[in-house]
Amino acid sequence: MVYTIPLIIFMDDVSGNISKQWNKHHAIYMSNANLPREMLEKEFFVRFVLSSPHAPPMELTRAMKESISDAAQSGVMAWDCKYNKEVMLIPYALFLAEDNLMQAKECSHAGLNCNYFCRTCDVGGTKEYKESEAGYNSIFMKTSQEIQQQFETAFKSGATTKIQHSISLTGVQDSASGPILSALVELGKKLRKRTAGSQALPKNEVEATLWKEFEELLKSGQLDDTINPLLGMDGLDIHMDTPTEILHTILLGIVKYFWGQTVFLLEKAKFLHVFQYWLKSIDKDGLNAPCLNADYICHYKGSLIGKHFKSLAQVMPFIIHDLVPPTVLNAWTVIGELIVLVWHTRFTDTEAYLVSSIHVLSKRLV
């Protein structure tokens, strides 16, 4: 028998030891997506792969990709205890489950300041166009082609401005090949710069020198071997196989900033102390909310974390009634519904529910 094994891959920066407050390491873990959902998050089934305090994230993913590709090519022999015979396992990457920042880096995405600010779709253009139906149905652009184009631009005059414009326009910025691209741009500046009593090098000599430097930086390899290794990984579409991460998108996104605006209204109306009393006295029986310490929440209202926002979202409509305008109360009611939808569907089609729920939320808030 031959079994395919879908892998859930996780990578993020972690603290390497306890002697310092923060000694950053990047680490990669994997889980077997074939496991029953009640087993997926148990510590025993989350397996450590590799870690380094020095290697950048994309170097670690390159090693991870090569390991999975080699195992898929040759197969992994194992013993099936159910059927009592030898079997072959073929692993493949199902999706990468990191936070939004790490997923953007794995997609060679430059972030929210770009015209194309989403790592999974091609939404871009003016604000009116992005809000239109046509804006959301744009054709997706090939990331690797844009990276290749940026390297072609690096050989031309004015490369710095042109590449920055390309990054801002397309949202594509590859961290894996970024040092080589920067080295070529800086070398081109030096070669074209005129010094006192001398002329700038001719265009053909500049390009020949840049090509020679480029080949040395590639170390006799190909550009495809240098750019983001996940862009060409078999069976993986890195843009689509990075599911929306709930913590930063919902709790530390929508809920956090709406909490900040609500606290502003309460303080302006001098109702924060009333809110604190009502939060302290609310009946917690039946709530999955272990973090309703009213004194802590109101004292450190600007420094709360995900578990606080998850608890607050369940009870806010009952506490702020008559303390804030009806529109704010209605918004918190919708946010509570969104939290329920997200957490009850987190092991199914989470992203589809997330998108539809945010769409409903935005329409009701308007």
pLDDT at residue 255 greater than cutoff 50: yes
The gap from C-alpha 163 to its chain's centroid, in whole angstroms, comes to 23
Residues 326 and 266 in one domain: yes
Q: Is residue 10 part of a domain?
A: yes
| pLDDT tens per residue, range 61-105 | 989 999 999 999 999 999 999 899 999 999 999 988 888 888 888
CB 108 within 8 A of CB 175: yes
Enumerate the H helices of 35-158 as residue ranges.
Answer: 37-40, 57-74, 100-106, 127-131, 133-136, 143-154
Q: Residues 302-353: pLDDT tens digits?
A: 889 888 888 888 889 989 988 999 999 999 999 888 887 776 555 444 444 4
Identify whether the C-beta of residue 8 lies closer than 8 Å to the C-beta of residue 33. Answer: yes
Share of the chain above pLDDT 70, in %: 81
Any domain includes 207: yes
Spatial distance between the Cα atoms of 18 and 8, rounded to a whole number of angstroms: 28
Please name the residues in contact with 344: beta carbons below 8 A apart, sequence gap of 6 or more.
Answer: none
Burial tier of 195 (Cβ tally within 10 Å: 0-12, 13-18, 19+)? exposed
Q: Is there a single domain that holds both residue 252 and residue 343?
A: yes
What is the pLDDT, as a whole number, of residue 353?
A: 47
- Domains in the chain, number: 3
pLDDT given for residue 131 in this prediction = 66
Residues 6+ apart with CB under 8 A from 273: none
CA–CA dist 24, 196 (Å, integer): 46
Joined tokens for residue 74 = 């040759």
Tokens found for residue 82: 């159910």
Give a yes or no: residue 238 inside a domain. no
Q: Indicate if 83 and 177 belong to the same structural domain.
A: no
**At 94, is the secondary structure helix, strand, or coil?**
strand
Q: How many whole angstroms separate alpha carbon 112 and alpha carbon 118?
A: 7
Give the highest mean pLDDT range of 35-49, 122-136, 207-221, 251-265: 251-265
Residue 116 falls within a domain, yes or no? Answer: no
Tell me: do 155 and 261 sit in the same domain: no
Q: Which pLDDT belongs to residue 140?
A: 37
Instruction: State how far the Cα of 331 lies from the Cα of 338, in Å rounded to an integer.
Output: 10
Residues 16 and 52 grouped into a single domain: yes
Position 226 confidence tier, pLDDT thresholds 50, 70, 90: confident
- 30 phi, psi to nearest 5 deg: -140, 150
Residues 205 and 276 in one domain: no
| Mean pLDDT in residue range 19-35 | 81
Instruction: Give yes or no for residue 183 having a pLDDT over 80.
Output: yes
Least confident span in 255-259, 285-289, 351-355: 351-355
Number of residues that make up the chain: 366
- Residue 262 pLDDT greater than 80, yes or no: yes
Contact 46, 31 (CB under 8 A): yes
Of 168, 198, 227, the position where a domain reaches its end is 227
Q: E strands within 285-348? A: none
Among the ranges given (167-171, 179-183, 332-336), the one the predictor scored with the smallest mean pLDDT:
167-171
Shared domain check, 164 and 65: no
Both 253 and 353 in one domain: the answer is yes
Residue 237 is assigned to a structural domain of this protein: no
Q: What is the separation, in whole angstroms, between the first and last Cα of the chain?
A: 56
Give domain status of residue 37, yes or no.
yes
Between 350 and 208, name the one with better pLDDT.
Answer: 208
Domain span at 12:
2-96
Q: Is 338 among the domain residues?
A: yes
Residue 357 has pLDDT above 60, yes or no: no
Asked if residue 267 and residue 336 are part of one domain, the reply reads: yes
Q: DSSP letters along 2-17, please? A: EEEEEEEEEEEEEE--
Q: What was the pLDDT predicted at 123?
A: 59
Does residue 339 belong to any structural domain of this protein? Answer: yes
| Residues 278 and 218 placed together within one structural domain of the fold | no
- Among the listed residues 292, 317, 301, 307, the one whose alpha carbon sits nearest the alpha carbon of residue 259: 301
Distance CA 29, CA 49 (A): 5
Nearest to 315 by CA among 333, 297, 298, 341: 333
- Do residues 276 and 350 share a domain? yes
Higher pLDDT pick, 210 / 87: 87
Tens-digit pLDDT profile for residues 112-164: 777 777 777 665 666 676 666 666 554 334 577 788 888 888 888 888 888 88
- Do residues 161 and 203 share a domain? yes
Please, what is the average pLDDT of the chain? Answer: 80
The CA-atom distances, in angstroms, between 309 and each of 41, 95, 194, 235, 297 are 22, 27, 58, 37, 10
